[in-house]
Chains A and B, each alone.
Chain A
């Protein structure tokens, strides 16, 4: 899912950085509007560490293997904090493990961070209607994890397909990209279930851990 250096043309990476700057600015503005912006920073910091490490967990889905992303969980727990948290996590992944790259940091932050914010809004839907219930909590937790990763995969595919270099065998690469996208379908289910279980658990033991968005 992380696009490494040397795959995308400069125009796309520059646009990615511009978009990331805009979304980061907007997220920080939203965070600043909270009553106590510092209150959720410990939570965001620990979730950044979790996001950073979780990409090392590979799940074999033949013919390839995918790794956990959990950006939907980030959104459900962190709200707008998720975007800067993912940006920092991606930075360390690029520098330390070579997952993604520094030139593509902006693009990757948009691919994984924007769906996280959308997931936060999906998870907020648990409060519509009369009142939230454990079941609604779980259902919208699942949807947050499921949809966020789906959106990430869709953006990943679109960005790659629209910037295929001319000297590449386009048909072969397209097949490979679609194969990778299809391999992520089971992962969407897995991440949906993980997110659902975690938000059900947290609602019982520490409801303050859930996004207050």
Chain B
């Protein structure tokens, strides 16, 4: 019988002690955070429509335009994606380069951010019109210099 009381007292003691100790709220507290980091997806293609597979990408943050913030490589479809640091707003420059060909695109992050954008890319009609203009200029030049000169 005495042992029984001893055990009860011990259990009671432990319970009291556990109440006295500062315990973190382990059970059902909830901690939710969110951030609105935007992933920027890039697709790089030649003007012939071919993807720039394996092209090297250098991302420059607005605060340091000389050293790349991130470097990477496009996949076989010419795609590359990265998440810019939202705490550095401004114009992020992304350079894509493959075998001496490539270009740079300026992506506004933070204020003035756009959902999509791009450089280059004319429709066939535009290219045809531009080519026709230049050809006509050349033909005109040729005709001008072919005209008969007064004797």
Contacts and interface: CB of A to CB of B under 8 A. Distances in A.
A53 B131 contact: yes
Contact of B103 (A6, A97, A160, A173): A6
A15 to B, nearest CB: 17
A49 B56 contact: no
Contacts of A5: 103
Contact of A46 (B47, B99, B138): B138
B34 interface: no
Given A7-B102, A169-B73, 14 more contacts: A42-B142, A42-B146, A52-B138, A53-B134, A53-B135, A65-B50, A96-B127, A98-B47, A156-B100, A168-B56, A168-B97, A169-B71, A173-B97, A177-B99
Interface of A: 3-7, 38, 41-43, 45-46, 48-49, 52-53, 56, 58, 63-65, 67, 92, 96-99, 156, 160, 167-169, 172-173, 176-177, 179-180
Contacts of B102: 4, 6-7
A64 B67 CA distance: 30
A49 B140 CA distance: 11
Interface of B: 46-48, 50, 53-54, 56, 58, 67-68, 71, 73, 95, 97-104, 120, 122, 127, 130-131, 134-135, 137-139, 141-143, 145-146
Contact of B139 (A46, A63, A177): A46
B24 to A, nearest CB: 46
Nearest to A101: B103
A7 B58 contact: no
A213 B46 CA distance: 38
Given A6-B95, A7-B97, A7-B100, A42 B145 contact: yes
22 contacts: A4-B102, A6-B95, A6-B102, A7-B100, A42-B142, A42-B146, A45-B145, A49-B137, A49-B139, A53-B135, A56-B127, A64-B99, A65-B48, A67-B48, A92-B134, A96-B130, A97-B47, A97-B122, A99-B47, A160-B99, A167-B67, A169-B56
